[in-house]
Chains A and B, each alone.
Chain A
Amino acid sequence: MTATAEPRTALPLAMTPDARAAFERTRLSRRGFLKASGALTVGFCCWSAASSVDPVLAQFGVGLTEGSPPADQVDSWISVAADGSVTGYTGKQELGQGIVTAQTQLVAEELCVPFARVTMIAADTAKTPDEGYTSGSQSHPTNFNHANLAQAAATARQALIQLASQHLGVPTAQLTARDGAIFVASNPAKKISYGELVGGKKFSLALDSSAPRKPYSEWTILGKPIPRIDIPALATGTFEFVHNVKVPGMLHGKVVRPPVVGATVNRVDESSVAGMPGLVKVVVKRNFVGVVAEKPWQAIQIANKLKVDWTSGAGLPKQADYYDYLRKQSPSRDAFLINSGAVDQTLASAATVLKATYLHPFQMHGSMGSSCAVADVANGKATIWSATQGVWQQRGSAAILLGMNPEDVHVIFVRGSGCYGHNGADTVSYDAALLSQAVGKPVRVQLSRKDEMAWENYGNSYVLDCRAGLDAKGNIIVWDHETWSPVLGNRPGAERPGNVITGFLAGFEPEPFHAQSPPSQPRGFNNGSNAIPSYVAGCVDDRCGGAGSIRSERVLTHNVVSPFWTGPLRSPSRLQNTFAHESFMDEIAAHIKTDPVALRLKYLTNQRVAGVLQAAAHAFGWDARPSPKWQRAEGVVAGRGVSCVAYEGANGYSAMVIEAEADTNSGVVAVKRIVVAVDCGPISNPDGLRNQSEGGALQGVSRALGEDVTWDDHKVTSVDWRSYHSLPLGFAIPQIEVVLVNNPGERADGAGELAITLSAGALGNAIFDATGVRIREIPFTPDRLKAAFQTASTKARA
């Protein structure tokens, strides 16, 4: 947690002997399990081969975890009760994106039962199949295609028809499933209900990859704007968040974080809080400090009063120079994602070379409710009620943290405040677990606002250099993209509790930083979180995975060690890269005095990106012309900007047009109108998709206009809603129109991170269109814009 010239050696990374032993034990037990569970392993192999799991999805953890229901069995996903009610089990949980309602629709549709008869249970290490993290716009592709939940439901329907055929003595071809029963098509009076067929019994059946999915043309539940099942409880205050979990005998914990980055404990003076009301215990484990009390307010008061002598920390790099520092930092991990060769020569031969550098700050998840968890660690077992995005991963990493076997840890997902990625949910779960273990009783911990904001795993800061070469006719002949981004920690996975602050303080290492220089060469096409611009061919070896036609192409990325914890924040790296690509494409269009939509279409070969781009432009009423509108603008001026993306190259397509006003005197930007077109294949719930797109677009505007993590020489200073600037409900909200492009013949793609990826680029382009001034640094604060407008105005006069 330092940022000296030698970050790897400056990090106090040594594992404690206890930590090392716990780590080793967990690994041994895992190997031992796999060795001893031949039958399950064989089952997994067979299912895996038969159902042809998409290798891209496999990395998101659809697989086998000891103790979790096996993913190859229908019973792990679907159960039918005697009364005909259906329970679906899923590893993809509700974070506020509407996925549980959509999955309820999916199960109801495939099984042919009424929506109201289906209940979903999501993300519980003891009850649901291991589907890895709920993240990265992966729930729709994972569960709505030809595997997992959808295929389990399709297999179950097929099995029910076969059972009914035997029962009724009628061939399956003459049977139809409807309303939770199987009917004889020619004689609907002859029927048998699901409850009668399998109620309360097991299917005892493997997922069948050949079981037919219900065709889109027959959908009556999926694809409809069915209202979210959770909103009535949310609106009336009856919904149980993780913050509301109460366990008998539960105590309350409060953590005491270091005052500055890198500080370690010299001494904890327990006598400073002796005799305070409600005190149960002061807990110290290496640099992890916390208190447990009977009531939450008592815990807070005790923690505030506890005297801890900390070391002074190692200091932070100056924020004012941080982007330069980032670019020069060593060691670094360098990788070519694409390198067509001779890029420098092509640039040298180009008639014109355009260059621009874009800057993106660290941003935070900044959940509205600070993170909370309850843990009960006693008698060799642990139960954690957690809003984590990955219950299975947390089970493994919490086991290491606690020195237990993963089999003895049960993680139950309970919804938290919207997380937008890897927020404080894991770290607070560790806090609760460590404190509970120390007192042998259940403990609830909710972080303070400052503890949430000062120590979360921030979304990455970026420096992005763009270069393009044009020929004499203005054709783009070469595109070169180079980025620098700092990393430290990440999601903890099943083995790295040190990837978040609590695990680190308790003595565990974050993922080691592996330097790589000279850069590694591409091995197969990898979109690299949209590091690949949409306009290049993306050719590696024989495969071209890009969305565009430019053949001279190079993408080089550098990672360095971050002074702060980092981790996925909604559209991680994809947003930052897309901001750069889409701003730069606009700069090229302006240089050659071409309409920005037309120029994009000229270089896009992927018809789905082109399709959403045209749909958004059409819905907006795009006036084809070059930007800017005026060369010298003064006062309040309006403009429009566009951006588009193939999310991660092939997981959803979106385009956005923003109309905005900029005041060149004050630097204030007002977003007036947003049109966003989305294509995520077949639409499972159109209103849910609209809701996600509207929210994503506006969250993207907030991140573009105001949000950045700030720090001084020793600590983060953006630690509340006065110092970290999220647009409140009271800001002048733009009109938002969502254009849904339904593509039922395509694969179900992601949707949650489409719109947010585009806002910064579209907004920057709108500001340029309005004012003729290009802002290349996020956030677009009034001070930054005012200074840029003044500089431009002075230059114009000179």
Chain B
Amino acid sequence: MAAITLKVNGSTHTIDLDPTTPLLYALSDDLALRGPKFGCGLGQCGACTVIINGEAIRSCITPVQTVAGAEITTLEGIGTPEKPHPLQKAFIEEQAAQCGFCLNAVIMTAKAFLDKNPKPTDAELQQALSNVLCRCFTHVRMYRAIQRASKEMAR
């Protein structure tokens, strides 16, 4: 066990845990955050995605010791129901969810991508989402939401 300091959504937390623990467990168990989720634990689906230094990172396979001190942003860190991020707003407006378990994966992956590529082509967006799953297959609405958000973000 070791004291690890994490900076999450602008707040600093010191947690006592095994430094090999994947970041996801620190976020969802110790900090009780609901955005990042356990989907596969293998970095294959995207459910656990957080943004660190502008990159979409799969927190289920990222040991917490490797991100101590880094700025970590989760889904709840980019907007709230009252003040949603343009992506969150677009997902609500397009009703782009069924069970909603994958929204963290899709929105956080799209955010990291759009922040670097504000006006993507469909093919670029497709490439960016190539390793993200939605088992309800809300794909059509999700693309529509991301394209909608990208237009608003580019304004």
Listed in ascending order, the chain A residues whose CB lies under 8 Å from chain B are 95-98, 227-228, 230-241, 243-244, 246, 252, 277, 295-298, 301, 366-370, 372, 415-418, 420, 446, 448-449, 687, 691-692, 694-699, 701-702, 720-722, 726-733, 736
Q: Contact: A730 with B136, CB < 8 Å?
A: no
Contact with A along B86-120 (1 / 0, CB 8 A): 00100110011111111110110000000000000
Q: Contact: A231 with B44, CB < 8 Å?
A: no
Query: Are A695 and B107 CB-contacts (below 8 A) given A236-B80, A730-B126?
Result: no
Query: Are A699 and B135 CB-contacts (below 8 A) given A231-B91, A235-B91, A720-B40?
Result: yes
Contact with A along B30-56 (1 / 0, CB 8 A): 001111111111101101000000000
Q: Contact: B134 with A368, CB < 8 Å?
A: yes
What residues on B are CB-neighbors of A368 within 8 Å? 39, 45, 47, 99, 101-102, 133-135
Q: Contact: B132 with A729, CB < 8 Å?
A: yes
B76 within 8 A of A: yes
Q: Which listed residue, B37, B135, B139, B143, touches A243 by the CB 8 Å rule? A: B37
Q: Contact: A730 with B130, CB < 8 Å?
A: yes
What residues on A are CB-neighbors of B47 within 8 Å? 368-369
Contact with A along B62-95 (1 / 0, CB 8 A): 0000000000001110011100100010011001
User: Shortest Cβ distance from B107 into chain A, in angstroms?
Assistant: 7
A236–B85 CA distance with the chains assembled, in angstroms: 8
Query: Are A730 and B129 CB-contacts (below 8 A) given A232-B81, A418-B135?
Result: yes
User: Shortest Cβ distance from B133 into chain A, in angstroms?
Assistant: 6
- Inter-chain pairs besides A372-B38, A697-B137, 20 sampled, C-beta below 8 Å: A96-B98, A231-B100, A232-B84, A235-B100, A236-B76, A236-B80, A237-B74, A239-B100, A366-B135, A369-B37, A417-B135, A418-B136, A687-B95, A698-B137, A699-B136, A721-B42, A728-B132, A729-B129, A730-B126, A733-B139
Give the total number of A-B pairs whose CB atoms are below 8 A apart.
190
B28 within 8 A of A: yes
User: Shortest Cβ distance from A459 into chain B, in angstroms?
Assistant: 14
What residues on A are CB-neighbors of B106 within 8 Å? 729
What residues on A are CB-neighbors of B45 within 8 Å? 368, 721
What residues on B are CB-neighbors of A372 within 8 Å? 38
Query: Are A732 and B35 CB-contacts (below 8 A) given A297-B21, A370-B40?
Result: no
A697–B37 CA distance with the chains assembled, in angstroms: 26
B17 within 8 A of A: yes
Query: Are A728 and B100 CB-contacts (below 8 A) given A235-B91, A239-B34, A246-B32?
Result: no
Query: Are A698 and B100 CB-contacts (below 8 A) given A233-B81, A236-B76, A721-B133?
Result: no
What residues on B are CB-neighbors of A721 within 8 Å? 40, 42, 44-45, 133
Where chain A touches its partner, the secondary structure class is loop
User: Shortest Cβ distance from A721 into chain B, in angstroms?
Assistant: 4
B141 within 8 A of A: yes
User: Shortest Cβ distance from A123 into chain B, in angstroms?
Assistant: 15
Q: Contact: B141 with A691, CB < 8 Å?
A: yes
A497–B139 CA distance with the chains assembled, in angstroms: 36
Q: Contact: A695 with B98, CB < 8 Å?
A: yes
Query: Are A235 and B107 CB-contacts (below 8 A) given A415-B99, A691-B95, A722-B44?
Result: yes
What residues on B are CB-neighbors of A417 within 8 Å? 39, 99, 101, 135
A237–B108 CA distance with the chains assembled, in angstroms: 11
What residues on B are CB-neighbors of A97 within 8 Å? 98
Q: Which listed residue, A246, A295, A418, touches B17 by the CB 8 Å rule? A: A295
Listed by A's residue number, 12 A-B pairs whose Cβ atoms lie within 8 Å are A232-B92, A237-B76, A301-B18, A372-B38, A417-B101, A417-B135, A446-B38, A720-B42, A721-B42, A722-B44, A728-B130, A729-B129
User: Shortest Cβ distance from A771 into chain B, in angstroms?
Assistant: 25
Query: Are A698 and B139 CB-contacts (below 8 A) given A296-B25, A730-B132?
Result: yes
What residues on A are CB-neighbors of B32 within 8 Å? 244, 246
Q: Which listed residue, A228, A241, A277, touches B37 by the CB 8 Å rule? A: A241
Q: Which listed residue, B1, B44, B76, touches A720 by the CB 8 Å rule? A: B44
Q: Sort A-B residue pairs by CB-CB distance and give the 8 closest, nearest first.
A: A96-B99, A237-B35, A730-B130, A418-B99, A234-B100, A237-B75, A698-B137, A729-B129
Instruction: Name the residue of chain A whose CB is nearest to the CB of B44.
Output: A721
Q: By CB atoms of chain B within 10 A, which of A239, A687, A732 has the most?
A: A239
Q: Contact: B76 with A728, CB < 8 Å?
A: no
Q: Contact: A369 with B39, CB < 8 Å?
A: yes
A448–B39 CA distance with the chains assembled, in angstroms: 9
Q: Contact: B100 with A449, CB < 8 Å?
A: no
A416–B99 CA distance with the chains assembled, in angstroms: 8
User: Shortest Cβ distance from B100 into chain A, in angstroms?
Assistant: 3
Q: Contact: A235 with B84, CB < 8 Å?
A: yes
User: Shortest Cβ distance from B144 into chain A, in angstroms?
Assistant: 10
What residues on B are CB-neighbors of A416 within 8 Å? 99, 101
Q: Contact: B131 with A730, CB < 8 Å?
A: yes
Q: Which listed residue, B97, B107, B139, B142, touches A228 by the CB 8 Å rule? A: B97
User: Shortest Cβ distance from A423 into chain B, in angstroms?
Assistant: 10
Q: Contact: B34 with A240, CB < 8 Å?
A: yes
Q: Contact: B97 with A733, CB < 8 Å?
A: no
B140 within 8 A of A: yes
What residues on A are CB-neighbors of B97 within 8 Å? 96, 228, 230-231, 234-235
A694–B39 CA distance with the chains assembled, in angstroms: 23
What residues on B are CB-neighbors of A694 within 8 Å? 137-138, 140-141
